[in-house]
Amino acid sequence: DAGVTQSPTHLIKTRGQQVTLRCSPKSGHDTVSWYQQALGQGPQFIFQYYEEEERQRGNFPDRFSGHQFPNYSSELNVNALLLGDSALYLCASSGQQGDYGYTFGSGTRLTVV
Amino acid sequence: RKEVEQDPGPFNVPEGATVAFNCTYSNSASQSFFWYRQDCRKEPKLLMSVYSSGNEDGRFTAQLNRASQYISLLIRDSKLSDSATYLCVVNLGGSYQLTFGKGTKLSVIP
């Protein structure tokens, strides 16, 4: 049973560019959340998608946007990259019935230079 | 005040030692509480949920004090494999967001 898969695993981008990160949830899960984890910090909630809609958003600017597809997979897009966007981006999936048994993917490590 | 605050660490303990981590949360409306474990450069993994009556899972014991807004994790008989960062995590009622502390790094030394 595949867990949460994320791609790519590592990425280097230049300031001002745009990036798309991808996530496939664990089998049986229909809800996807995205988190940003800067070095030495705990993960910070970006947003959650359910039924192809953004259900809740954290304190992140509009440069961060997302999408969920009918097969429950999800993308995170970041526009106009800043050096401070360098972080580990984690995708977590869960069932939507208030199930907090989140399963995290191994993340995408984004470096902005 | 940060929403979830943890002991700064790092904690360096010998094998077999007992170690305790503390965590406080600021929002009294918080309803669900967890400890996650994160190995170096890996994803967080759920260690255990924390219940009001306290709960135990093998060598791990978690306690919750709602009045003091305080959560603890006790690890008995530490193993080398317990070396990791331990993240205190809180969820507000009616929210889908998990709020993480910065984590406390534990190194168990032979």
Which candidate in A56, A93, A100, A111 is best for mutational testing of the B interface (most B CBs within 10 A)? A100
Task: Return the higher-pLDDT residue of B52 and A20.
Answer: A20
Contact yes or no for A101 and B46 at CB 8 A: yes
Task: Nearest by CB to B44, from A33, A40, A43: name it.
Answer: A43
CA distance A61 to A7: 23
pLDDT of the residue at A96? 65
Q: What residues in B contact A100, CB-CB < 8 Å?
A: 32, 34, 49, 91, 98
pLDDT of the residue at B92? 85
pLDDT of the residue at A100? 57
Closest listed residue to residue A36, CA positions, set A78, A88, A80, A76:
A88
Number of A to B CB contacts under 8 A, please give it. Answer: 47
Mean pLDDT of A2-31: 95
Contact yes or no for A104 and B44 at CB 8 A: yes
**Interface contact B50, partner A, CB < 8 A:** no
> Along the 110 residues of chain B, how does pLDDT read in single tens digits?
679 999 878 999 999 999 999 999 999 888 899 999 999 989 999 999 999 889 999 999 999 999 999 999 999 999 999 999 999 999 987 888 999 999 999 999 99
Look at residue A50 and tell me whether its pLDDT is greater than 60. yes
Q: How confident is the model at residue A101 (pLDDT cuts 50, 70, 90)?
A: confident
Query: pLDDT averaged over chain A?
Result: 94
E-strand ranges in chain A read: 5-7, 10-13, 19-24, 31-37, 44-50, 53-57, 64-68, 74-78, 87-94, 103-104, 108-112
pLDDT in tens, A64-92: 999 999 999 999 999 999 999 999 999 99
**Interface contact B96, partner A, CB < 8 A:** yes
pLDDT of the residue at A22? 98
pLDDT of the residue at B9? 86
C-alpha distance from A97 to closest chain B C-alpha (Å): 11
Q: What residues in B contact A48, CB-CB < 8 Å?
A: 96-97
Residue of B nearest to A4 (CA): B43
